[in-house]
Structures are given as C-alpha cells and as structure tokens.
A = this chain, B = another copy of it.
Amino acid sequence: MKALYFDGKRLEFREDYPMPERRSGEALIRVRYAGICGTDLEILRGYAEFRGVLGHEFVGEVVEADDESLIGERVVGEINIGCGECEFCKKGLEKHCANRLALGIRGKDGAFAEYLTLPEKNLHRVPEEISDTEAVFTEPLAAAYEILTQLHLKPSWKALLLGDGRLGQLIAQVLRHHVDLTVVGRHQRKLELLRDLGINAIMFNELDRSMRFDVVVDATGNPNAVLEAIKLVKPMGFLILKTTTSKPSKMPLSEIVVNEIIVIGSRCGPFKPALNALKERLIKVDYMIDGIYPITDWKKAFEKAMSRETLKIILKM
C-alpha cells in the first residue's frame, strides 16, 4: 500500500509498504483523509524519536473487524493503545499507560497510509452531519476539549490564549463560550480568521503586557513562549501548556512559587464532545483547510504545512 514512512531522518513515500496486520480486537481501516499536525512536524525535527508511518488525525472506513456491525462504518479513532493491565488502562486512561503505543507517534504505524489498524474500542462512528474533511479535526478538537476536563473554567474569568495556529484556532472556539477570551498571535491572517468568528484576537505586540489573566493557555508550539506566558498569569491563576517540543525551556521557577501559579500540562482529550460539537456546528473547522493533496503529492503538502502562514493541510489517500 502507499504510505509516508519516517526513518528517523527523512520522510519517504513508499508505494509498496506492507499492509498492517489486523489482530484480534482490532479493526482494519481504509483511510480516506488525514491531517498534518504540528506534532507531525515536531517528529520530523526529532520529537518523540518515532520511526514508522506518520499521521494520527484521520477519517476512514472500517474494512475488517471482529464486531461485524463496524464494517463499512465511517470512523475516527483515539490514538493511544494501552497495555490494558496497568492502573491507567484500568481507569480508561490508556493515553498515560507507560507501555502505550500511539498511532503515528509511538511504536505504531499511523494514518498517512492507505490502511491502518486500531483497537475497535478506540473507534467512534462519525455522524452523517459531519463531512470527511471536518471529521479529520476530531482528534485535535478533542485535545482542545481536554482543557475543559482538567480545569473548571469560571464565567467571570479573563483568559488569554497564546497562539493563532491549528490548535489555537480550535482552543479559541472551545474556550470562547466559557470565559472572557483574548487570543494573541503573530499572523495577521490567522487572527483575522478568529475575528471573523467574533473572537477577540490581537497581535502579540498589541497586548497590554501589564494585564494579568485568570488563565493563560500556551498553544504557540514555541518552547520560549512560556517565559512570557508565566508573566501574564494572575497570582493563584492557571497556565495551561499545550506545546510539545523536543527542546527544554527556561522557566523562572520562583515566579511560579511566589505567585502560587498552577501549571497544567494538557494533551489528548475526549472524542465525544468533539464529535458532538462538529455535529451541532458549535465549532467551525472548514475555514482552516489550506489545502487537500493526494498522498502522492506529499512533498508539496508538507512544504505547505511547514509554512508559518498555513493552517490545516489534509492528505487524501
């Protein structure tokens, strides 16, 4: 089958990559579309030391499964696969299993291929109101919803979101209904898109740096942003970190201590509210698509995805 394989140094297109083998409890899925995510680009720079088929945001069709009712269904899938035995797996927190695999990120071939396998329990049927290309956003939108599972956002709070990129656009739309939100970015076009949605979005240099927010979310992807972010949090306020990079950051610990700030790392989230929000049109995603490329045009697709001006690039299998 066709697949985009990362050998630790470079991404390669393989025409005859072996089909994944479906194990008991798993479904074999024919991938229709897959999104290129910031994490994919970080992996190409060395993050997570992954080798294999890249890609973890997808929509596809079940071709084979133990559960016959799944066959032919259009699905998206949670990307973490736990050992099933540890304290985290037993609580349904496979994403924190120490021995987990993660689709296209850790020990498991991903979605930039014609076929992938995932445990049946990782799959969610896609309601018909959601288009294929919209469904591709389920996984990153779930990551945005993760913030709501971690912290009780209060209606009176002022919140600042740093980052106007792929994930920033989704987080902004999730948070706007919960707090008084300001988004700060570095790209006029992306900020304009947020303003078109009615979201208060300004350039970083327009921000009044003396302001302090109840909650600040860092979705910049920049390891140095945390230094600015921490100064914008009120005492006893919250700093939510979404940035995963391979580089360590300099942190002024005494600012965290003296101001008793709470820093919350935030990763994968719940698929159900994400699918529901897409179905109910609470969250818009179509406007973020800056290109859909056949997998054979992967070079162009990645080139475009790496541009700072681009939001979402989607591969068609």
| A263 surroundings in chain B (CB, below 8 A) | 256, 262-265
Q: Tell which of A150, A263, A264, A265 has the most Cβ of chain B within 10 Å.
A: A265
Q: Does A155 contact B (CB under 8 A)?
A: no
Specify which of B242, B244, B246, B253 is in contact with A249 (CB 8 Å cutoff).
B253
Interface size class of A (residues with CB under 8 A): 35 or more
| A265 surroundings in chain B (CB, below 8 A) | 253, 255-263
Q: Tell which of A236, A246, A256, A267 has the most Cβ of chain B within 10 Å.
A: A256
A48 to chain B, nearest CB (A): 9
Q: Does A254 contact B (CB under 8 A)?
A: yes
Q: Which residue of B lies closest to A250 (CB)?
A: B248
| A266 surroundings in chain B (CB, below 8 A) | 257, 260
Q: Does A293 contact B (CB under 8 A)?
A: no
Q: Does A201 contact B (CB under 8 A)?
A: no
CA gap between A4 and B262 in the complex, in Å: 35
B253 and A243 form a contact (CB under 8 A): yes
CA gap between A263 and B96 in the complex, in Å: 17
CA gap between A246 and B253 in the complex, in Å: 9
A residues lining the B interface (CB < 8 Å): 47, 88, 93, 96, 150, 223, 226, 235-236, 241-246, 248-267
17 A-B pairs (CB sep. < 8 Å): A47-B254, A96-B259, A96-B260, A150-B260, A241-B253, A242-B257, A243-B257, A248-B252, A249-B252, A249-B253, A250-B250, A251-B251, A256-B265, A257-B266, A260-B264, A261-B265, A263-B264
